[in-house]
Amino acid sequence: MSWRALAVGAAGAWVAYAWGAHLFTAQCVRRGDARAPRIALTFDDGPDPVWTPRVLDLLAARDVRASFFVVGERAARAPDVVRSIARAGHDVGSHGWSHKSLWLAGPRATAVEIGRTHAFLSDLLGREPRHFRPPWGMVNLAMFPLLRRLGLSCVLWSIQPEGLRPVGPLEQSRYVVGHAHAGAIVDLHDAEGTPRAPERLSAALPQMTDGLRDAGWELTTLGELLGHGPRDRGKWGASKGPRRPPRSGAPRGTRGAPRFCARPGSPT
């Protein structure tokens, strides 16, 4: 077989593995129940040791509960921030271990990205996470069976005020309030992916939450929006956590199966 044929075959296999997997993103949650006036604010890419506590203070000042998709290696560097998220009554979900695009991850690397974070958060908080958001909204074929084994739901979003392009605080707030709908899942960022994203978010958040409530929306967690009850190992934050981040990427089997639906939006 020629090198050209091998290259074409390899390229075709990658397209099927990465791009083809997006045919299955109907298995990913994008919104909740459209019959109730509820919206979930979600925060990606943290924890940031400076900005995440500021976001928590802003939410606490308005008695808002939300959901945070944390990056495993960042959580390992700031475990107390993750515990504070959980103790405040917010949901904690997984955003992978290193924020690596799953388009660039083979089956083994995918197991490390998802399995290692799942194990770390379970040990740290004494409760298994229920939700996983793929970095950049990018999936692969290895991801879906792994999520089923771990009892994780793939969660995307229906409203994203800022992606790769910086958007000012006022514009973000107006966009979210103007596009709000029943069951909306709003994708925000409490750590820096796009430069200075958490700074803009912190400036936008008070007006955003006030505007949503003034329009009649109830702000809630993903668990409540999607009807996903917790799987306890005790109380949130009760565990002292692991002595070190788990080394093995092998996922640990759990009971339960995720609920899925919808398609990804722009990358996060």
Q: Which domains does the chain have, with CATH numbers?
A: 3-232 (3.20.20.370)
Instruction: Point out the catalytic residue in the list 44, 91, 187, 190.
Output: 44
Helix H or strand E encompassing 222: helix 222-226
Instruction: Point out the catalytic residue in the list 95, 189, 190, 228.
Output: 189
Distance CA(32)–CA(40), nearest Å, equals 9
* pLDDT band of 126, cuts 50, 70, 90: very high
Q: Is 95 a catalytic residue?
A: no
Which residue is associated with the tokens 């900005």?
51
Q: Is 44 a catalytic residue?
A: yes
Say how many C-beta atoms besides its own lie within 10 A of residue 163's C-beta. 18
- Please give the residue that has the higher pLDDT: either 195 or 235: 195
The pLDDT, as a whole number, for residue 255 is 31
* pLDDT band of 241, cuts 50, 70, 90: very low
Compute the CA torsion angle 236, 201, 171, 217 (nearest 10 deg): 20
Distance CA(70)–CA(109), nearest Å, equals 18
Name the nearest CA neighbour of 105 among 90, 115, 92, 94: 115
The pLDDT, as a whole number, for residue 256 is 31
Candidate from 47-61, 199-213, 246-260 with smallest mean pLDDT:
246-260
| Mean pLDDT over the full length of the chain | 83
The pLDDT, as a whole number, for residue 257 is 30
Is the model's pLDDT at 3 over the cut of 70? no
Cα 93 versus chain centre, distance: 6
Is the model's pLDDT at 239 over the cut of 60? no
* pLDDT band of 8, cuts 50, 70, 90: very low
Cα 178 versus chain centre, distance: 23
Select the highest-mean-pLDDT range: 113-117, 188-192, 243-247.
113-117
Is the model's pLDDT at 238 over the cut of 80? no
How much of the chain exceeds pLDDT 70, in percent? 76
The pLDDT, as a whole number, for residue 245 is 39
- Please give the residue that has the higher pLDDT: either 200 or 258: 200
